[in-house]
């Protein structure tokens, strides 16, 4: 067992959410369509054929849901602003109703003694901007900077904690290269352009927020996995390095002034062709913290048939894992991976502070007699927090941990089957049931 006190009084514990996954209200009060509103209507895109049109109805139920947050002794919540709700067409006039909603949401958090951590972009680009090229259009630097400035105009007098981008590798990689996520493109050229522009936006908006108020705590988040070679052979080891450069380092190292990781993965030199004069100097920004979003370990093998990476992920079914070591997402449960990633980030000179901005697991939960006995999730959280404490004890500057997520929600292309929440959500009735893991987190935080 681990104790809250072992982390020290200043360590931040919270819970994370995102707009499209929980808000619903997709066509009310002037909100415009996002790329996800369009994507979910395309046949075969979402495994269960669902959408985020209603999601958890957080747009209407936020007050009651924040009461749940307070009941669980959670002092910090991460939520994102829907660009389409604030600026329906992506550019042009703001939507007063959208601004009013986020204004009230912020006040509702503060009234309950909950600190809001606001993410500016969590994957839901306005569809109107996608029709103009989206992240592959360099104009996104201006679009996103204007949007960020307007969010700050609405919330900047009360919000102090900001995250610029949520997992750029996910929304750029799956959105423009694999096509698994909105906008569903499969274009290496579009991917490279979008990656270049997202990295520039990350730094540009970081500077904007820093200049807007010296009180702002400005961060951004990266998705990361611990990649381990499938065998001890040299070919698998080099394949693992290539995967790490692509997945873990592509959006981090330019921000730290190290440029794109082209030495390990020479194919990334094509990214440099997207840069214009002065861009190299604009890529770095000294964030107050880097948000780490980590869930699993992957095993990597060499594979010459895979273009670009010449590497492949070894399927979980080949790893000989017991069922409790594989989540509903098909991810390997390997708590030490979080420790190893924290140690790796701490090795970068330019990182001041690390916050684990997402960590959690989906398991096949059931409500039985009004109770959700999700022992596997509780064990997952305990074991991963122990690894955070281990890293912290060794001097790693990790100063926060946010559970993904508060409510069972719309999990993008997976639909509603994977349940990550501390709170069970019935998508039909919107009834909430705190799971045993939620009560455990409450007691841990209150201890």
Domain ranges of the chain: 4-446
Catalytic residues: 167, 358
Paired tokens of 169: 């590798």
Cα 187 to Cα 174, 248, 282: the distances in Å are 11, 21, 26
| pLDDT at res. 14 | 99
* DSSP, res 47: T
- Condensed to tens digits (0 to 9), the pLDDT of residues 173-230 reads 999 999 999 999 999 999 999 999 999 999 999 999 999 999 999 999 999 999 999 9
Token pair of 373 as six digits? 């006995």
Mean pLDDT computed over 106-131: 98
**pLDDT higher than threshold 90 for residue 1:** no
Pairing of strands 161-165, 115-121: parallel
Mean pLDDT of the chain: 98
User: Does residue 316 have a pLDDT over 90?
Assistant: yes
**360 — pLDDT class (breaks 50, 70, 90):** very high
What are the phi and psi torsion angles at 46 (to 5°)?
A: -110, 130
Q: Which of 225, 207, 220, 103 is nearest to 159 (CA)?
A: 103
User: What is the residue whose two structure tokens read 């139920």?
Assistant: 61
Pairing between strand 289-302 and 354-359? Answer: parallel
pLDDT category, 172, cuts 50, 70, 90?
Answer: very high
Residue 129 near residue 91 (C-beta atoms within 8 A): yes
Distance CA 280, CA 284 (A): 8
Strands 432-434 and 423-425: antiparallel
Confidence (pLDDT) at 182: 98
Token couple for 286? 């000294």
User: What pLDDT is stored for residue 365 in this prediction?
Assistant: 97
Look at residue 258 and give its three-state secondary structure.
Answer: coil
Does the pLDDT value for residue 60 go beyond 90? yes
Section 284-295 average pLDDT: 98
Q: Which residues contact 429 (CB under 8 A, 6 or more apart)?
A: none
| 337 and 292 Cβ atoms separated by less than 8 Å | no
Q: At what angle do helices 168-176 and 188-212 cross, to 10 degrees?
A: 150
Distances (CA, A) of 320 to 84, 317, 324, 377: 44, 6, 12, 21
What's the pLDDT at 206? 98
- For the question of whether the overall pTM of this predicted structure is more than 0.85, the answer is yes
CATH superfamily entry for domain 4-446: Glycosidases (3.20.20.80)
Mean pLDDT of 342-369: 98
Q: Could you tell me the pLDDT band of residue 58, with boundaries at 50, 70 and 90?
A: very high
Helix, strand counts (H, E) of the chain: 15, 11
The H-or-E segment that residue 378 falls in is helix 375-393
Q: What is the pLDDT of residue 447?
A: 86
Task: Give the pLDDT of residue 116.
Answer: 98
């Amino acid at each position: 067992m681990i104790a809250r006190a072992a982390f020290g009084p200043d360590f931040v514990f919270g819970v994370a959410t995102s707009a499209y996954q929980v808000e619903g209200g997709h066509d009310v009060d002037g909100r415009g369509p996002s790329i996800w509103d369009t994507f979910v209507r395309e046949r075969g895109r979402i495994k269960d054929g669902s959408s985020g049109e209603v999601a958890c109805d957080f747009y209407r139920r936020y007050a009651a849901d924040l009461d749940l947050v307070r009941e669980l002794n959670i002092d910090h919540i991460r939520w994102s602003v829907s660009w389409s709700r604030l600026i329906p067409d992506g550019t042009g006039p703001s939507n007063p109703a959208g601004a009013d909603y986020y204004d009230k949401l912020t006040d509702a958090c503060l009234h309950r003694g909950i600190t809001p951590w606001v993410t500016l972009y969590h994957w839901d680009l306005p569809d109107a901007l996608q029709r103009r090229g989206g992240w592959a259009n360099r104009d996104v630097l201006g679009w996103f900077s204007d949007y960020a400035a307007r969010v700050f105009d609405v919330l900047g007098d009360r919000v102090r904690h900001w995250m610029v981008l949520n997992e750029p590798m996910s929304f750029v990689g799956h959105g423009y290269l694999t096509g698994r996520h909105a906008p569903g493109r499969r274009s290496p050229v579009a991917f490279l352009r979008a990656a270049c522009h997202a990295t520039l936006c990350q730094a540009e908006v970081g500077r904007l927020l820093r200049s807007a108020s010296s009180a702002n705590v400005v961060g951004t988040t990266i998705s990361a996995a611990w990649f381990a070679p499938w065998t001890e052979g040299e070919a698998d080891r080099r394949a693992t390095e290539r995967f790490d450069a692509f997945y873990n380092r592509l959006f981090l190292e330019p921000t730290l002034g190290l440029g794109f990781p082209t030495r390990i993965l020479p194919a990334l030199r094509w990214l440099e062709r997207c840069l214009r004069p002065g861009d190299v100097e604009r890529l770095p920004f000294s964030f107050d913290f880097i948000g780490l979003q980590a869930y699993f370990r992957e095993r990597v093998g060499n594979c010459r048939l895979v273009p670009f990476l010449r590497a492949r992920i070894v399927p979980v079914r080949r790893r000989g894992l017991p069922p409790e070591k594989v989540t509903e997402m098909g991810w390997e449960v390997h708590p030490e991976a979080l420790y190893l990633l924290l140690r790796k980030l701490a090795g970068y000179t330019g990182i001041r502070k690390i916050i684990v901005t997402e960590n959690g697991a989906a398991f096949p939960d059931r409500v039985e007699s009004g109770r959700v006995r999700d022992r596997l999730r509780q064990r997952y959280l305990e074991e991963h927090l122990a690894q955070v404490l281990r890293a912290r004890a060794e001097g790693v500057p990790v100063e926060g941990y946010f559970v993904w997520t508060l409510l069972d929600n719309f999990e993008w292309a997976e639909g509603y089957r994977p349940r990550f929440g501390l709170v069970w959500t019935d998508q039909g009735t919107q009834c909430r049931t705190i799971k045993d893991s939620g009560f455990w987190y409450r007691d841990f935080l209150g201890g």
